[in-house]
Amino acid sequence: MDMNERQIALSVLENLREDLTYARLRNGSRILDVADLRQFIYERMDRVRTNAHVTAALYGNTSDQKERMHP
């Protein structure tokens, strides 16, 4: 693992630790076990993907356009 990868991993883990302090699932329940933690991570990943798609749509940066510009 190079230094950039290590810094990214540490940043992700630090943010996750902070998020878990007050984390709640979409249904409002607290994270109590590994299954809840897994669900929380999936929900966060979905939110990141959705935000990325919305941002790409707003700025016109779709993957189709990128492929046409840089085949």
Number of domains comprising the chain: 1
Classify residue 25 by its DSSP letter. -
The pLDDT of residue 39 is 92
**Predicted model pTM:** 0.58
Measure Cα distances from 28 to 3, 31, 44 in Å. Answer: 37, 10, 14
Q: What is the CA radius of gyration of the chain?
A: 16
Q: How confident is the model at residue 36 (pLDDT cuts 50, 70, 90)?
A: very high
Q: What residues contact 44, with CB distance under 8 A and at least 6 apart?
A: 19
Domain that holds residue 36: 3-69
